Homo-oligomer: A and B are copies of this chain.
Amino acid sequence: MDTETRDLLPEGLEDRLPQDTAAATRITRALMDVLDSHGYDRVQPPSIEFERSLASRMAGIQTRRMVRFVDPASLRMMALRSDMTPQVGRIAVTRMKNAARPLRLAYAGQVVSLKGDGLDPTRERLQIGAELIGHAGVAAAAEVVAVAIEALQAAGATGISVDFTLPDLVDALSAGPWPLTPAQLAAVRRELDAKDAGALVQAGGAAYLPLLHATGGFVAAMDKLSALAVEGVLDGRLSALQAIAERVQAAGGDVRLTLDPTERHGFEYQSWFGFQIFAQGVQGAVARGGAYAIIGADDGAEGEAAVGFSLYPDPLITALAAQEAKRETLFLPLGHDASAAARLRAVGWRTVAAISAGDDARALGCSHRLDGLEPVRV
Q: Which residues of A contact B (CB under 8 A)?
A: 1, 3, 5-18, 20-22, 24-25, 29, 32, 36-39, 41-50, 52-53, 56-57, 67-69, 71-74, 76, 78, 80, 87, 90-91, 94-96, 100, 102, 104-105, 109-110, 112, 114-116, 121, 123-124, 132, 135, 137, 139-140, 143, 250-251, 297-299, 329, 338, 345, 349-353, 355-356, 359-360, 363-365
Contact = CB atoms under 8 A, between A and B. Distances in A.
Q: Top 7 A-B pairs ranked by shortest CB distance? A: A39-B352, A18-B41, A16-B44, A13-B46, A100-B363, A21-B42, A37-B345
A15 B3 contact: no
B7 A297 contact: yes
Contact of A351 (B11, B39, B67): B39
Given A72-B115, A140-B355, A49 B13 contact: yes
A238 B155 CA distance: 50
A69 B3 CA distance: 21
Contact of A104 (B12, B67, B71, B352): B352
Contacts of A32: 25
Contacts of A44: 15-16, 20-21, 24
A39 B329 contact: yes
B6 A135 contact: no
A1 B47 contact: no
Contacts of A38: 345, 350-353
Nearest to A297: B3
B5 A48 contact: no
Contacts of A109: 110
Contact of A50 (B5, B74, B123): B5
A286 to B, nearest CB: 18
